[in-house]
Amino acid sequence: MVGGAEKWVMMVTAQTPTNIAVIKYWGKRDESLILPVNDSISVTLDPDHLCTTTTVAVSPSFDRDRMWLNGKEISLSGGRYQNCLREIRSRASDVEDEENGIKIPKKDWEKLHLHIASYNNFPTAAGLASSAAGFACLVFSLAKLMNVKEDQSKLSAIARQGSGSACRSLYGGFVKWIKGRDEDGRDSLAVQLADEKHWDDLLIIIAVVSSRQKETSSTTGMCETVETSLLLKHRAKEIVPKRILQMEEAIKNRDFTSFAQLACADSNQFHAVCLDTSPPIFYMNDTSHRIISIAEKWNRSEGTPQVAYTFDAGPNAVLIARDRKAATLLLQRLLFYFPPSSATDLDSYVLGDKSILKDAGIEGIIDVEGLPPPPEIKDSIPTQKYKGDVSYFICTRPGRGPVLLSDKSQALLNPQDGLPK
């Protein structure tokens, strides 16, 4: 044993992306194991723009498991956290950190406690699926820390028990969550359909829509839909399976027209079954509807779809453009209809990959004000604008899966005492 052994701290830092479903998960057949009523398919977003960073640390000096999320300590007593911790711990194996002279045999893990610090680089209130990225990162980083020898799909089955959509964040690119058949959920896991380089023309613009209302949580909402919507069963049984096959084909063939038609239809149908719930759930608001109208009008005027849209359990629009040119034209339209509030700097209004502003010929607010109406608007009535209805935009792209961060300065916990920096 090395001197001062009781005080050693071993830690690992990882970064995990978030993802957006294009064929939606909505409805569980098992609440505790988080088993869904249908398959789902997602696109992983570039963690350069949206990600969760998690540092996990273990030390004999820790007296209990603790977690900090975005700097604030939170409870780990909930079922979802306990499930993930238990599943990962039971798969821990021997760990040796030669550099620091730390050895943890497999049997020691059950007695050791963990400190976990997690940070999202996007606001939780923005409705951007922070729990997916968060649980995926927790599971991935713990698996690295504890030298868990499971493949990524098996890890996804563990992440799934923290948050359903988290399982899809264990891979980059295009991911499918197979619903599975087993009662114990061992076959309900994520697989990669194609990596992030497969279709790298695609560009993604997210419109973070201003929304004051507190939304129905996904967990509550989908439970109510399962219990009260007469349309959901039909969707899950008859409609989604066919769409999953068609979407896999579309992704494989980089067939944007099919991809867009399926993504938009499935987003709308998800919101349709939410409306068919008792009490009805409205995630999209008037701004969401206007964005859909803008996309639909443009797509129809071009003859072939330029952009796909999809909405999760909130009013934010995720717009997937066919290529950079389409994304640029899309951004011009969005900025035309949703100019920033007078007090907002353009630099704070378009986040992520800001280089797209240059492509769009927009350097400052004056350029936004000078944007012409889109050609597909035929009536001569001056078009109404909706200043301030969008909080900001994020430009991103399909991205890679979870990675370890070896740069110690990125760790969120102090290597000396395992407490938040």
In the complex, the residues that contact a second copy under the rule CB under 8 A are: 212, 230-231, 234-235, 238-239, 261, 264-265, 268-269, 271-273, 275-280, 282, 285-286, 289, 292, 296, 300, 384
Least distance to a second copy, CB of residue 313, Å: 15
C-beta closer to a second copy: residue 377 or 403: 377
For 153, the enclosing helix (H) or strand (E) is: helix 152-160
Q: Where are the alpha helices (DSSP H) in 303-364?
A: 324-337, 346-349, 355-359
- Nearest Cα to Cα of residue 168 among 186, 144, 193, 149: 193
Least distance to a second copy, CB of residue 322, Å: 18
Least distance to a second copy, CB of residue 213, Å: 9
Least distance to a second copy, CB of residue 314, Å: 14
C-beta closer to a second copy: residue 130 or 310: 310
C-beta closer to a second copy: residue 117 or 263: 263
C-beta closer to a second copy: residue 271 or 333: 271
Sequence-separated (6 or more) residues with CB below 8 Å from residue 294 = 333, 334, 337, 374
Question: Which CA distances in Å does 266 have to 216, 259, 261, 333?
Answer: 20, 11, 9, 24
- Give CA–CA dist 363/386, Å, rounded: 21
C-beta closer to a second copy: residue 172 or 315: 315
- Give CA–CA dist 102/96, Å, rounded: 6
| Structure token digits, residue 330 | 């899309």
C-beta closer to a second copy: residue 16 or 269: 269
Whether omega before 47 lies within 30 degrees of 0, making that bond cis, reads no
C-beta closer to a second copy: residue 190 or 291: 291
C-beta closer to a second copy: residue 72 or 212: 212
- Nearest Cα to Cα of residue 52 among 40, 64, 66, 67: 67
- Give CA–CA dist 85/135, Å, rounded: 11
Least distance to a second copy, CB of residue 239, Å: 5
Least distance to a second copy, CB of residue 380, Å: 15
Sequence-separated (6 or more) residues with CB below 8 Å from residue 105 = 94
Cβ burial, residue 102 (10 Å; 0-12/13-18/19+): middle
Spatial contact of 152 and 175, defined as CB atoms under 8 Å apart = no
Least distance to a second copy, CB of residue 315, Å: 10
C-beta closer to a second copy: residue 109 or 270: 270
Q: What are phi and psi of 349, to 5 degrees?
A: -95, -30
Q: What are phi and psi of 133, to 5 degrees?
A: -65, -40
Least distance to a second copy, CB of residue 230, Å: 5
- Give CA–CA dist 405/53, Å, rounded: 9
Least distance to a second copy, CB of residue 268, Å: 5
Q: What is the CA radius of gyration of the chain?
A: 22
- Give CA–CA dist 60/2, Å, rounded: 13
Exposure pattern of 217-240 as b/e (b: 16+ CB <10 Å)? ebbebbebbbeebeebeebbeebb
Least distance to a second copy, CB of residue 299, Å: 9
C-beta closer to a second copy: residue 32 or 278: 278
| Structure token digits, residue 381 | 């009535």
C-beta closer to a second copy: residue 278 or 355: 278
Least distance to a second copy, CB of residue 3, Å: 56
